Structure 1
Amino acid sequence: MTRTLPRMARAHALKQGPDLTPMLDVVFIMLIFFVVTASFVRATGLTPDLSRPLTGPVSPMEPIGFRIDAGNRLFHNGQLIAPFSVGAIVKAESTARPKAPVLIVADPAAHTDMVVRLYDEARKAGIKPGHIAVNIK
């Protein structure tokens, strides 16, 4: 006499697929092994030295920049200049770059008369009002 499974048990046995749990265990163990044994290398490259101004050809639209600090000192390209030299600097640079705007960056503690003086000198040098920008920061 052969023993047969009841009808429901046979149907359930046919629907059930292979047990994948051991295979998943092996995959996770391999993944952990590769992560632990991998050596991570930091790629080294060139680090730019931004502490000094870059030299090279100046863009035609590079602004002619002036900075006024909290002590009302005037700087152009990082160098301390006298206020009476602004007109000559603007004329010389606007001749070389006719479309270059003038940018005046002033400290909030700087006197307003210094900003107005720079603006007036740029206007006297031939810069149009729409090409002069004042930034307070």
Structure 2
Amino acid sequence: MKRKKHTAGDDDAAIDMTPMLDIVFIMLIFFIVTTTFSNEKGLSANRPENNQNQSKPSKSLSIRIDDQGQIYMGGRVVDIRRVVANTQTFLAENNTESAAIQAHENTEHGVVVSVMDQVKQAGIVNVSVLVKKG
């Protein structure tokens, strides 16, 4: 038996990679086109704007409601019908857009909602409600 000598022609044998690369690129395009991006649903948060030009912090209106339903503004008892007038007086003296209502946990909800309505009617936009236990 005669042995065959390896020649230079045998070394040139190689696999053509072009069709395999074409298939890979077609699959890549297919996956890119068929991918769906979903937006997650949830609550959006109101973040404060970055206001660097504010020189002094604004004073917030503070209203306290005890367990008997009495309303305190500035350390004195105020009637529910006078909340608008007292709030407008506070706004004339202080430049603010926020108010904090601190209610006792046993306070009736109707009183708190009435005070919130009165404050918003006076012109304050941001109203926070805090509940005090005990």
User: What is the TM-score with the length of structure 2 in the denominator?
Assistant: 0.53
C-alpha separation in 2, matches of 1:103 and 1:125: 14
Residue of structure 1 aligned with 2:117, choices 112, 120, 137: 120
Correspondence for 1:134: 129
Unpaired runs of 5+ in structure 1? Answer: 1-58
- The equivalences for 1:1-137 within 5 A come to 61-128=58-125, 131-137=126-132
Report the CA distance shift for 1:100/1:123 in structure 2 as closer, same or farther (over 3 A): closer
Alpha-carbon contact 1:103-1:133 (below 8 Å) kept: yes
Stretches of structure 2 that go unaligned for 5 or more consecutive residues are 1-55
Q: How many residues align?
A: 77
Deviations 1:41-94 (A, max 9, x none): xxxxxxxxxxxxxxxxxx862221111101111111221111111000111111
Percentage of identical aligned residues: 22
Counterpart of 1:117 in 2: which secondary structure?
A: helix
Rounded to whole Å, the distance in 2 between the matches of 1:121 and 1:107 is 19
The alignment's TM-score, normalised by the length of structure 1, stands at 0.52
**Change beyond 3 A, Cα 1:79–1:106:** same
Distance 1:69 1:134 in 2: 13
In 1: Cα distance, 2:96 partner to 2:118 partner: 17
Is the 1:87–1:121 contact (alpha carbons within 8 Å) kept by the matching residues of 2? Answer: yes
Question: What CA deviation, in whole Å up to 9, does each residue of 1:4-43 have, x standing for no partner?
Answer: xxxxxxxxxxxxxxxxxxxxxxxxxxxxxxxxxxxxxxxx
The alignment partner of 1:104 has SS state of: strand
Shift of 1:100: 4.7
Q: Which residue of 1 aligns with 2:40?
A: none
